[in-house]
Amino acid sequence: MGAAFVEEPGAAGAVEGLAAEGVTPWLEGLPGVGPDRMREFADRLGVRNLLYGVPRRPAALGAVCDALLPRGGLVAAPPPGEGTSYEVARALVTAVDRPNLIVVLPATGEGPAVGARLLGEGVGVAFGPMTGPRTYEGVLGAWLGGLERARERGLDLAALPAFASLGVRELGPLAVPTARLLYARYDRALGGRRWRSLAAAGARPHRLMWTDLGDRAEYLPELVGWGTAAALTLRALQCLPPLRGDTLSPP
């Protein structure tokens, strides 16, 4: 995709439409998306956040973080390697050393415990992909526990973003009903005692993020809910299906 894409009015309209519905668009990172291109997307289309699906070199991540930080953008990337130990994740955080880096961690196995520890140290995290409500329960526990640790250390809870992602295409027809179950559980979590205590200390809700939407993102109109996020390819932004308002909340 060249500079002509940035002139495409459909992409800018898609970003505005998503924002109007309370959905934060993320750009799914491609190998050629570097700091200059992301700066252009942020300034002209309003897509400030970038999600990488594969590990990137710390220097490359740092350069993109620097490009997006003045625009309030976040850069999410997984640590290198098959497993995700705390030491590996912490090494990535130390090497990049940028406040807008989000560490992508598995929603199962060691991921939740590592994420809770990083949140407790003031590092933003993204858990996923989740497979359903049971996986989400583990993520919720890690998120709340991590914020509680951060509060004990006197950290700024408002500066700790967190995300929980659902891979849409892999679930196929089950994606929409699963997303609705997660969104309902999300609402209940925000009404709970633990969250109310953290919110009073300045914490912000995490966001459910829909990933692996494909170039057409045909499921996205069924996944619209306030306070969610959607990771989109350039092509999906260019030809996003029409949105119909909130489709996740009960009628």
List, for residues 225-239, the tens digit of each pLDDT value: 999 999 999 889 988
The pLDDT > 90 percentage for the chain reads: 84
Domains and their CATH numbers in the chain? 3-238 (3.20.20.70)
List, for residues 100-127, the tens digit of each pLDDT value: 999 999 999 999 999 999 999 999 999 9
The count of residues in the chain is 251
Q: Containing H/E element for 127?
A: strand 124-130
List, for residues 162-193, the tens digit of each pLDDT value: 999 999 999 999 999 999 999 999 999 999 99
Query: What's the mean pLDDT in 198-219?
Result: 96
pTM of the prediction?
0.94
User: CA-CA distances (angstroms) from residue 98 to 66, 104, 198, 204, 225?
Assistant: 8, 15, 24, 20, 30
Report the sign of the C-alpha dihedral through residues 34, 39, 44, 45, in that order.
positive
